[in-house]
Amino acid sequence: MRLEDITVTLRPRQPWESVDLGCAMVRRDYGRILGLWLCTVLPLWALVGVLLRASPEWIPLVVWWLKPLYDRVPLFFLSRAAFGVRPTFLETLKQWPRLWIANFLPALLWRRLSFIRSFALPAQMLEGLRGAAVNQRIKTLAMDGGGSGVSMSLAFSNLELVAWIGLMLGTYGLLPDAAEPDWQGLFQALDFESTIPNAFLWWGAACHMVIVTLIEPFYVGAGFALYLNCRTRIEGWDVELAFRRLATRLTSAAAALVIAVIALGGVHAADQIVARTDSAADAHKVLKELEANLQKTKKPDIKPAVKADPAKAVQEVLEAPEFKIHKIQSKEWVSDKKETKKDESNLPGLNFLGVIGELLFWLLIAGVVTFLVIYIVKNRRMFIMRGVSKAPVRAPKVIMGMNITRESLPDDIVAAARAAWAAGDFKEALSLLYRGSLSWLVNRRRVPIADSDTEEDCLVQVLQAGEKREADYFRQLTGAWVQVAYAVMPVSDAEMQRLCEQWPFVEQGGAA
């Protein structure tokens, strides 16, 4: 065992961390360990199966009881691999009988129920001690790591149990009906023999074997790592390793220094020789010596392997993980056109569905467009702006108790007023004129007159908003109307005549 070749990073760890280290070690070599396991353990299990074929319910117990035997081959492999000497498959198999026979009675009898089984196994197997010395050694080691060995065993037995039940639950659905136990009968009668078929027991035993194969190597590795950690702590393996490396570095550095001194001395001597002898031949000789010296000093820098085949050496360097080229590949989904064509040819009768769908779509579009057009045309007033007034003015229909809607007035207001005047109804005549003018001003000119306005308010509004001719006329008319309606003073015929003739509220170019 050479500590320099160790393939595990040593460092005083917490117990659980060293358990993890064991898992990492086993994971690194799980393929080989599994191969060894299958070669060494499966025959034993086959033998157990044959011997216990009459009562398969005992198989899991026996398989469990024999566990200390299984641990030995993986531990042998792991311990060698940890120190850099990875044994080959055949080398390990050759050790197999020796490993299993050594100490197998105590391991299977009074040490079987030890809680620190996998932690103690390296001390028994690798240290070469015998008899009472082994027990003493295990006791010493357990003082430091025993407690963690116990809790580690607990954790792994939990994992094993849980994984076993998990595997059975997961594969239960795949069992044929004949292999399923009659659970109801089992719970009612508590009669195991008649309700649980043998196939179920065999299946349970097989599941147990699978799980033991999966978990047990990790348990062995964890125990070994705990053991390594223990010795690292109490013997300072990590410090020893560092000191050994330090010594190697310093001695090789010292050797290099010595060589360099020699070379320098050579140069110095050469200078002296050159100074002493002027002959060119001598100088040539000295230079040759010097070159030889220099080459001697250079030699240790380049390894012979590198010199022999530099391309191979470069290749080896490039294979290191630091030079690995990482690539990101992304896949794009491309529709498989052939597939869709096939589908179409398979369903020729459904083409018309697509046509109908398209037709329906265009009909829908046409319907929406038609509806929009009709709606706009119907409500075009909403969309056409009127120049007269932007603010909506609600034209009142009644002002001062007088109906001023156009419908309530005669078509020819002036004629009607003259007729009333001729009939002697002066008030009616002027009322007609006044209402007619207000109706015109409110409805056509949009003069903002509210239904609560008095005559004076109306006049003010008209003077502000109306045209000058219309406003002048309206002032005269208002005066006449107020005079007749409230003062009951008749206006003269001439004035009435003038009001009728000047009537401005007619459509442009149209008859009054």
Partner 1 sequence: MAVARADTLQTVELADGVEIQLRVAGPAVRSMAYLIDLLIRIGIDLGVVIGAFWLLPSLIGHQMTGGLVMLFAFFMEWFYNVLFEAGAKGATPGQRSMKLRVMSVTGGPVSLAQAVMRNFLRVVDFMPGLYLTGIVCMLFTKRFQRLGDLVANTVVTYAEVPLSLSPQVEIRAERRAPAQVLTREEQAALLQFLERAPLWADERRIELATLAVPLTQATGTEGLRRLCGMALWCGCKTQKTNAGRRHR
Q: State the Cα torsion 194-196-200-206 to the nearest 10°.
A: -100
Window 251-310: residues binding partner 1 (CB under 8 A): 251, 253-254
- Report the amino acid identity of residue 296: K
Is residue 462 close enough to count as binding partner 1 by CB under 8 A? Answer: no
How many chain residues bind partner 1 (CB under 8 A)?
62
Among 319, 344, 358, 456, binds partner 1 (CB under 8 A): 319
Regarding 203 and contact with partner 1 (CB under 8 A), the answer is no
Segment contacting partner 1 (CB under 8 A): 15-23, 267-275, 298-306, 498-506? 15-23
Whole-Å CA distances, 234 to 10, 83, 116, 426: 13, 19, 18, 136
* From candidates 4, 17, 291, 358, binder to partner 1 by CB under 8 A: 17
Q: How far apart are CA 409 and CA 413, in angstroms?
A: 7
Determine contact, residues 210/167, Cβ cutoff 8 Å.
Answer: yes
Could you tell me if 52 and 59 are in contact, meaning their C-beta atoms sit under 8 angstroms apart?
yes
Q: Tell me whether residue 15 or residue 466 sits nearer to partner 1 (CB atom).
A: 15
Q: Contacting partner 1 (CB under 8 A), which of 55, 136, 140, 171?
A: 171
- Interaction of residue 344 with partner 1, rule CB under 8 A: no
- Residue 224 makes contact with partner 1 by CB under 8 A: no
Site for partner 1 in 227-246 (CB under 8 A): 233-236, 238-240, 242-246
- The residue type of 465 is A
Closer residue to partner 1 in complex, CB, 30/100: 30
Site for partner 1 contains 21 (CB under 8 A): yes
Find the binder of partner 1 among 43, 97, 147, 170 (CB under 8 A).
170
103: burial class by Cβ within 10 Å (0-12, 13-18, 19+)?
middle
The residue among 30 and 58 lying less far from partner 1, judged by its C-beta, is: 30
| Phi, then psi, of 377 in degrees rounded to 5 | -65, -45
Task: State the virtual CA torsion across 438, 444, 449, 452 in degrees, nearest 10.
Answer: 60
- Residues across the chain: 512
**Strand (E) positions, 377-507?**
398-399, 402-403
Site for partner 1 contains 30 (CB under 8 A): yes
Contact residues toward partner 1 (CB under 8 A) are 6-9, 12-14, 16-21, 23-25, 27-28, 30, 81-82, 84, 86, 151-152, 154-156, 158-159, 162-163, 165-171, 214, 218, 222, 233-236, 238-240, 242-247, 250-251, 253-254, 316, 319, 321
